[in-house]
């Protein structure tokens, strides 16, 4: 087994991981960033619309904090909310100094999604990371965090068909969320909750995993790409069912605008209930004006071309449906990104507490810069005070193969169907109980794989199964409906 030694290891290359790696490298640490996919391109950051919620125009820090708490039903951790509200403007100014160009909007700043063929936010952060001296390793699946007592000292990984032992003086976990455990989702297909599973197996508690935000409007044209509909379209267009009923009016949502930013949970439930009733749901954009298409959140000519040429939005309504979008639960951190295990820090979507029961639009990207920077700096401080273990760390590859088990792809498909049916936007006691039974049965069937390369995929599916069980069990334990968690019984 090959061994790599670094000062700071960052797991995950979305904007939180990139910002953490930049912060650690700028503190003079030998920093290695690892990613399941291509560094900078295998995360939910590439799918975002580039909006960073921030004080500045029409909103001060107190208002940012108030709206975040209100949207999260006051189940947020106030100390994290205050940090976000106070530090976002400086983080955006810092990113702007490294090439991230913004347009000011009420409530925040927007970076263009695509420019000169590059997806802007990850492209700028990746360029910044390379200039800071961050080393990057793609196509790497983390199998297990390594511990020495109550301290994390690195990880075991699979990269390029070989096993790696990565020893680190400090580790930052920035792996993103778990929305891809659902049949309908708008995340990269690799967002299966690896970070939650790694933390849990290392002994870290997971909190409020029932709070999964479902984005209400994702295109659902059969046989065509599924694309997230930008938040402004929820208010500009008309949301109807196949009986041409106005669903915003039908469900009394008219006073909650902007729907795509402040009422994602309630709009998602309304659409899901329509689908459960056997109705189809559409977004009618036929009345869009040239002024509407120039709205900053409309995301440019490329998006317009997709709707008009692929979805034929000028001549007919576009089929839409809700999709799993963001995970609000996760692991606890202190104000500096530290977890309950020494040597392990975290930032981004897998962290619990900032968003409460529902995330306000725009806070996801802002969070990555603020807490990514904090976690990276804390990891650097930790690394400077530590030495590498001189003796070798004994690592075990988790054994979960079965000669008669399911292929990882088959198991994942069944897992996603179970989660959508039993743990989706509308939940019931019977459905959640049935979901746990089905997940247990799926786990008992086991997985089969051949060779170390397939073992990486199998490891991710096994983690997804563990995280799915956690989401369902957490939803069972919270009997009241609040925020993104809705119980119909």
In a domain, 394, yes or no: no
Same domain, 106 and 141: yes
In a domain, 354, yes or no: yes
Same domain, 160 and 27: yes
Question: Which residue among 343, 358, 384 closes a domain?
Answer: 384
Residue 276: the pLDDT is 85
Position 426 pLDDT exceeds 70? yes
Between 226 and 414, the more confident residue is 414
CATH of the domain at 146: 3.50.50.60
Same domain, 99 and 158: yes
Class of residue 314 by CB neighbours under 10 A (exposed 0-12, middle 13-18, buried 19+): exposed
Mean pLDDT of all residues in 191-197: 97
The Cα 270–Cα 392 span in angstroms is 55
In a domain, 395, yes or no: no
CATH of the domain at 279: 3.90.700.10
Same domain, 206 and 239: no
Tokens of 474: 């957490």
Same domain, 117 and 53: yes
Residue 301: the pLDDT is 57
Same domain, 217 and 297: yes
Cβ-contact 15, 365 below 8 angstroms: yes
Same domain, 273 and 287: yes
For 233-268, what is each residue's pLDDT tens digit?
A: 888 889 999 999 999 999 999 887 778 776 778 899
Strand, coil or helix: what is 179? helix
Same domain, 162 and 263: no
| Confidence category of residue 111, pLDDT binned at 50, 70, 90 | confident
In a domain, 226, yes or no: yes
Highest mean pLDDT out of 27-31, 223-227, 282-286: 27-31
Same domain, 57 and 182: yes
Mean pLDDT of all residues in 49-58: 87
In a domain, 391, yes or no: no
In a domain, 485, yes or no: no
Q: Write out the residue range of the structural domain in which residue 433 sits.
A: 401-477
**Cβ count near 448 (within 10 Å):** 18
What mean pLDDT, rounded, does the chain reach? 90
Cβ-contact 353, 207 below 8 angstroms: yes
C-alpha distances in Å from residue 9, one per residue of 35, 136, 235, 335: 11, 10, 43, 20
In a domain, 488, yes or no: no
User: Structural domain tally of the chain?
Assistant: 3
Same domain, 335 and 353: yes
Mean pLDDT of all residues in 70-93: 97
Same domain, 368 and 446: no
Minimum mean pLDDT range among 6-10, 199-203, 231-235, 478-482 = 231-235
The Cα 157–Cα 143 span in angstroms is 5
Same domain, 347 and 425: no
In a domain, 396, yes or no: no
């Amino acid at each position: 087994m090959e061994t790599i030694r670094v000062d700071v290891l960052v797991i995950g290359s979305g904007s939180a991981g990139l910002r953490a790696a930049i912060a650690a490298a700028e503190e003079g640490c030998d920093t290695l960033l690892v990613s399941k996919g291509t560094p900078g391109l295998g995360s939910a950051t590439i799918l975002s619309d580039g909006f960073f919620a921030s004080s500045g125009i029409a909103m001060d820090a107190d208002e940012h904090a108030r709206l975040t708490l209100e949207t999260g039903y006051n189940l947020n951790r106030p100390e994290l909310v205050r940090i976000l509200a106070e530090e976002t403007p400086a983080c955006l100014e810092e990113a702007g100094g490294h090439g991230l160009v913004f347009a000011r909007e009420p409530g925040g700043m927007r970076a263009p999604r695509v420019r000169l063929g590059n997806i802007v936010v990850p492209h700028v952060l990746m360029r910044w990371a390379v200039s800071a001296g961050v080393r990057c390793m793609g196509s790497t699946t983390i199998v297990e965090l390594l511990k020495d007592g109550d301290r994390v000292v690195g990880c075991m990984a699979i990269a390029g068909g070989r096993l790696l032992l990565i020893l680190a003086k400090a580790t930052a976990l920035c792996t993103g969320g778990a929305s891809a455990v659902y049949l309908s989702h708008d995340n990269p297909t690799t967002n299966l909750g690896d970070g939650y599973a790694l933390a849990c197996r290392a002994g870290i508690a997971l909190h409020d995993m029932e709070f999964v935000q479902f984005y209400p409007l994702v295109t659902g044209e059969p046989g065509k790409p599924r694309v997230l509909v930008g938040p402004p379209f929820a208010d500009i267009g008309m949301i109807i069912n196949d009986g041409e009923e106005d669903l915003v009016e039908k469900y009394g949502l008219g006073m909650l605008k902007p729907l795509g930013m402040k009422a994602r949970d309630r709009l998602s439930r309304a659409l899901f209930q329509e689908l459960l009733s056997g109705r189809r749901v559409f977004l009618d954009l036929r009345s869009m004006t040239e002024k509407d298409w120039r709205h900053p959140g409309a995301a440019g000519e490329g998006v317009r071309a997709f709707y008009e040429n692929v979805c034929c939005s000028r001549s007919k309504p576009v089929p839409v449906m809700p999709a799993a979008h963001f995970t609000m639960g996760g692991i606890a951190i202190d104000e500096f990104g530290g977890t309950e295990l020494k040597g392990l820090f975290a930032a981004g979507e897998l962290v619990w507490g900032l968003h409460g029961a529902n995330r306000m639009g725009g806070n996801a990207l802002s969070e990555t810069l603020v807490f990514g920077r904090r976690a990276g700096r804390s990891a650097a401080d930790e690394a400077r005070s530590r030495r590498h273990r001189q003796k070798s760390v004994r690592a075990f590859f988790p054994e979960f193969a079965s000669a008669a088990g399911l292929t990882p792809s088959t198991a994942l498909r069944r897992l996603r169907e179970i989660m959508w049916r039993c743990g989706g936007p509308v939940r019931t006691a019977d459905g959640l109980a049935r979901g746990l039974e089905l997940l247990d049965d799926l786990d008992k069937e086991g997985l089969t794989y051949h060779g170390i390369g397939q073992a990486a995929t199998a490891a991710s599916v096994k983690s997804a199964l563990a995280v799915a069980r956690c989401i369902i069990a957490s939803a069972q334990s919270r009997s009241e409906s609040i925020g993104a968690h809705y119980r119909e019984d």
